[in-house]
Amino acid sequence: DLGAAQASRWNDNLFAITPPATDMGRVAAHNARIERGMGRAIVLHTPEIFGKSLAKAFIEGFKADRTGKVVASLALSPQKPDAWVSAAIETAIKNEADSLFVVGPGEVAAPLARALNSEPLKNTQAWFIDWAMYPTVLEAAGKAIQRVHWVNRPLPRGDFEDIFLSRYQAYPNFAAGAGYDSVLLAATAIQDGESMGPAHLAIAAGSASNLAGAFGTGSMVEHAGITYEDAAGYRAVEPTREPDSEAWIFSGY
């Protein structure tokens, strides 16, 4: 796990299975601006490096095409959930914002999800990060659930999930899949490298593709100086109710 700080460019011998947490901002911005056509965003985030870094990544991504506008970016205390709701409503009214990116815990995400049903936010879509991916937030959204989106890493699936479940009688979490894919990447580099020398191993690892790992078939990609496996990267996920059930399912997850 690379953490939340903005990563500097790595040397050619370092690789990751997943990008740093800041990538959640970039993914949310792409989903909001490019895939959904949102044009005016509000960013609400916690004041420490985690919140600042994700907010920065979202803002840069949302404004990349020079037509998207971030009308406000506010640092707020997670201890004061009401302040987050007030900021979202007041800023949306003043700026006719159509999208909201939230970097905060479930305690602030739940009231914000509920506020999407209010008149000032009735046409606003919201993006939350993995920090707030809880059933309480889903329930709070109510009728606005179609306008609520999350950004998270994928869970292991396919043969890896089946074998893990059979062996341990439990579903694998992300860390289990990341550990498996780390070993797979190392083995692939050893097998495909011209020699066991560090330079050849690094070339083989960085160019690896068709890796049939825990998250599906992936390849190593480079973005913002970090080389990581695309199949394990963050993605936008959509929550919906399972038919005739109280369970939630997440498309894209």
pLDDT digits (tens, 9 = 90+) for 163-209: 999 999 999 999 999 999 999 999 999 999 999 999 999 999 999 99
For residue 242, pLDDT beyond 80: no
Listed in order, strand segments (DSSP E) in 88-132 are: 99-103, 125-129
Low-confidence winner among 1-10, 156-165, 214-223 (lowest mean pLDDT): 1-10
| pTM greater than the 0.85 cutoff | yes
Low-confidence winner among 64-68, 188-192, 240-244 (lowest mean pLDDT): 240-244
d(C-alpha 229, C-alpha 245), whole Å: 34
CB contact burial 122-146 (16+ within 10 A = b; e otherwise): eebbbbbbebbbeeebbebbeebbe
Listed in order, strand segments (DSSP E) in 54-207 are: 69-75, 99-103, 125-129, 148-152
Per-residue confidence band for 243, with pLDDT thresholds at 50, 70 and 90: confident
d(C-alpha 41, C-alpha 91), whole Å: 10
Query: Mean of the pLDDT values across residues 25-36?
Result: 96
